[in-house]
């Protein structure tokens, strides 16, 4: 049986194409299983997973939790509010204490870029914690690997394949972990990627990643097969990056009227949460072009695949 080349999933950057393909093909099998009347499999019986969320989440948190339950894992949920983090306990101490309760895997969302890599490196130093696998559920503006994997899986399901597809990532690229993980994942899989948004929301050196850059929404939509609309991440912005939301929506918001002018097939994605009327209007988000809820559905199968492969149960 094939294995991942990595012990942890801290980002897409260090995955091989074979890793990505193995995760997506395993997800396809889990998607079939979770659409059966009996959705639960015993694959992670006797494995305990801790979900550590130091930042808010709806989709990722619940999707990991459902994925773990479908695999028959034991789970514990931790959120920083109401925990001893408020008394000054460090991330490493928090993780070591949770792992001392015989936990096997940690799924972690954290506001600081690099937090998952930091934790994986630190835990190696503690013999009682070194066994644990770390899965990054989003670390600040850095990476959101399982979102990129579920996005790639959703494009495959909607468009047939990713190789040769033109994918536009539109909106607040500067503060988006989804954008970076998607760029790494889509390029590994042979897609052409363009980022589009106001100049102030696009990192200056992003073209060094091999992506095209555009500040014109209509031109970008005419070019692409798939448009992934991103939310403006106000929670990560100390400055104002554009004059007003109204102007942002006028130039970079996707409306039915703009979509109708294209007169071509196009797949619309959004990682959520949506700011309806800003980056996308309801009549687009809820239209036949949109695969937004398919992305959420696919997230469960993709996260089951990641948990299963990292736990190494397919090898035993
Ligand atoms: N897409 C995503 O990460 O959503 P949540 O913040 O709700 O988990």
Contact by Cβ (8 Å): 95, 119: yes
Q: Whose CA is nearest to atom 4 of ligand 1?
A: 59
Q: Point out the ligand 1 atom lying closest to the alpha carbon of residue 137.
A: 3
173 with 129, same domain?
no
Structure tokens at 148: 């990129």
186 with 69, same domain?
no
Residue 315 inside a domain? The answer is no
Q: Specify the number of domains making up the chain.
A: 2
Q: DSSP letter string over 84-130?
A: GGGGT--HHHHHHHHHTTT--EEEEEESSTTHHHHHHHHHTT-TTTT
Full pLDDT tens readout for the chain, 316 residues: 688 999 999 999 999 999 999 999 999 999 999 999 999 999 999 999 999 999 999 999 999 999 999 999 999 999 988 889 989 999 999 999 999 999 999 999 999 999 999 999 999 999 999 999 999 999 999 999 999 999 999 999 999 999 999 999 999 999 999 999 999 999 999 999 999 999 999 999 999 999 999 999 999 999 999 999 999 987 766 667 777 889 999 999 999 999 999 999 999 999 999 999 999 999 999 999 999 999 999 999 999 999 999 998 656 5
- Does the beta carbon of 233 sit less than 6 angstroms from any atom of ligand 1? no
Q: Point out the ligand 1 atom lying closest to the alpha carbon of residue 144.
A: 3
Distance (Å) from CA 128 to ligand 1 centroid: 31
Domain range for residue 55?
2-144+297-310
193 with 264, same domain?
yes
Distance (Å) from CA 60 to ligand 1 centroid: 5
**CA dist 226 to 163, 170, 239, 265, 290, Å?**
13, 10, 30, 9, 10
135 with 157, same domain?
no
6 with 122, same domain?
yes
135 with 235, same domain?
no
Q: What is the CATH number of the domain that holds 264?
A: 3.40.50.1370
């Amino acid at each position: 049986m094939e294995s991942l080349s990595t012990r942890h999933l801290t980002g897409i950057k260090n995955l091989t194409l074979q890793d990505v393909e193995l995760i997506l093909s395993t997800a396809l099998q889990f998607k079939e299983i979770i659409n059966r009347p009996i959705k639960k499999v015993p694959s992670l019986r006797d494995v305990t997973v801790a979900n550590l969320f130091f930042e808010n989440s709806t989709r990722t948190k619940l999707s990991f939790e459902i994925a773990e339950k479908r695999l028959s894992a034991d789970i514990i949920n931790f959120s920083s509010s109401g925990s001893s983090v408020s008394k000054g306990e460090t991330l490493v101490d928090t993780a070591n204490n949770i792992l001392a309760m015989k936990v096997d895997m940690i799924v972690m969302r954290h506001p600081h870029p690099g937090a998952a890599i930091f934790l994986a490196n630190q835990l190696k130093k503690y013999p009682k914690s070194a066994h644990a696998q770390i899965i990054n559920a989003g670390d600040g503006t850095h990476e959101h690997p399982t979102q990129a994997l579920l996005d790639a899986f959703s494009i495959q399901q909607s468009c047939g394949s990713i190789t040769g597809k033109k994918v536009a990532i539109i909106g607040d690229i500067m503060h988006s972990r989804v954008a970076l993980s998607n760029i790494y994942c889509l390029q590994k899989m042979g897609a052409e990627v363009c980022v589009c948004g106001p100049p102030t929301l696009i990192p200056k050196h992003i073209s060094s990643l091999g992506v095209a850059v555009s500040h014109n929404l209509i031109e970008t939509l005419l070019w692409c097969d798939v448009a992934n609309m991103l939310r403006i991440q106000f929670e990560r912005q100390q400055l104002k990056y554009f004059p007003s939301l109204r102007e942002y929506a006028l130039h970079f918001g996707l409306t039915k009227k703009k979509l109708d002018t294209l007169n071509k097939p196009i797949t619309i994605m959004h990682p959520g949460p949506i700011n309806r009327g800003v980056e996308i209007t309801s009549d687009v988000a809820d239209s036949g072009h949109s695969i937004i809820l398919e992305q959420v559905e696919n997230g469960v199968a993709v996260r089951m695949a990641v948990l299963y492969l990292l736990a190494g149960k397919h090898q035993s």
